[in-house]
């Protein structure tokens, strides 16, 4: 199930969509204007964002551009009454994964979200074959809950962040090739996906900065290595 940011200024529709998604097992943060939606995207980790276009304070297109700048790999969907072809093309040109015009059925929304999440959130490896919690340095990664604890301080990761760190931690002190990461997690090794992965690596480095025993090194053009200079801690 996914953590979803929903930005919709029509409160009745917003609550209806929120209830429907939560009934399906997702967690949903509902914001009613663009500025609060953008603030939520900076303060919390989400797996997918659903944005109305015509929002108070800051419009949905502007919110999407800023979210894309901060989180290049996060899936975006627009919900809007703007059905013109030009608006749809512009929304998709911003990197949106889908564009659903109002009115719409909740069943159609659910099916479209399921398709987006299936494309964007493939599992790293079968959970039964690998540990759910991985330790390295002074860190513990609780993969199923996407929670990284660094020296006792917890941090919630997006699914893609958790997947990349999980894969590196399973092979700590060993090189993991770029193509392996891209094909395992994104199932794509194209240029733009590769650039997105580099952004995720940069964010993970920031998260791990407090632990001096850890370093994500880059072997240029080959891959990445999670270097651990101290033994793994015990639970």
Domain boundaries 3-120, CATH class: alpha beta
Region 46-74: mean pLDDT is 89
pLDDT of residue 235: 47
Find, among 147, 127, 125, 148, the residue nearest to 138 by Cα. Answer: 148
Give me the residue label for tokens 């603030």. 39
**Based on the number of CB atoms within 10 Å of its own CB, is 148 exposed (0-12), middle (13-18) or buried (19 or more)?**
buried
Beta carbons within 10 angstroms of residue 141's beta carbon: 23
d(CA 150, CA 174): 21
d(CA 224, CA 181): 9
d(CA 162, CA 133): 11
72 or 176: which leads in pLDDT: 176
Domain boundaries 127-228, CATH class: mainly alpha
**Six-digit token pair at 69?**
């700048």
How would you classify residue 35: left for phi > 0, otherwise alpha for psi between -120 and 50, otherwise beta? alpha
User: Looking at the whole model, is its pTM more than 0.75?
Assistant: no
209 or 160: which leads in pLDDT: 209
Say yes or no to pLDDT of 51 above 90.
yes
**Beta-carbon-side half-sphere exposure of residue 102 (alpha carbons within 13 Å):** 14
pLDDT single digits (tens) 94-137: 777 888 888 889 999 998 888 787 766 555 554 556 778 999 99
Write down the domain spans for the chain: 3-120, 127-228
Q: Which helix (H) or strand (E) holds 19?
A: helix 11-23
What is the per-residue burial (b if ≥16 Cβ within 10 Å, else e) of 165-198?
A: bbbbbbebeeebebeebbebbbeeeeeebeebbe
Residues with Cβ within 8 Å of residue 39, at least 6 apart in sequence: none
d(CA 65, CA 193): 17
pLDDT single digits (tens) 130-170: 778 999 999 999 998 889 999 999 988 888 888 899 999 99
Say yes or no to pLDDT of 10 above 60.
yes
Cis amide prior to 81 (ω within 30 degrees): no
């Amino acid at each position: 199930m996914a953590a979803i940011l929903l930005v919709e200024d029509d409160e009745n529709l917003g609550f209806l969509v929120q209830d429907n998604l939560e009934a399906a097992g997702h967690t949903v943060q509902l914001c009613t204007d663009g500025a609060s939606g953008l603030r939520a995207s900076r303060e919390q980790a989400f797996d997918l964002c659903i944005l109305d276009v015509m929002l108070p304070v800051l419009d949905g297109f502007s919110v999407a551009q800023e979210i894309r700048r901060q989180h290049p790999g996060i899936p975006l969907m627009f919900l809007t009454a703007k059905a013109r072809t030009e608006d749809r093309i512009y929304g998709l040109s911003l990197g949106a994964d889908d564009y659903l015009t109002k009115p719409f059925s909740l069943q159609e929304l659910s099916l479209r979200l399921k398709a987006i999440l299936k494309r964007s959130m493939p599992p790293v490896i079968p959970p039964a074959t690998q540990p759910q919690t991985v330790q390295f340095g002074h860190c513990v990664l609780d993969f199923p809950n996407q929670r990284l604890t660094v020296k006792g301080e917890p941090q919630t990761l997006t699914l893609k962040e958790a997947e990349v760190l999980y894969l590196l931690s399973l092979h700590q002190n060993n090189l993991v090739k770029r193509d392996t990461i891209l094909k395992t997690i994104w199932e794509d090794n194209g240029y733009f996906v590769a650039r997105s992965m580099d952004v995720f690596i940069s964010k993970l480095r920031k998260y791990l900065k407090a632990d001096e025993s850890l370093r994500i090194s880059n072997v240029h053009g080959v891959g990445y290595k999670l270097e651990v200079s101290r033994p793994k801690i015990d639970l």
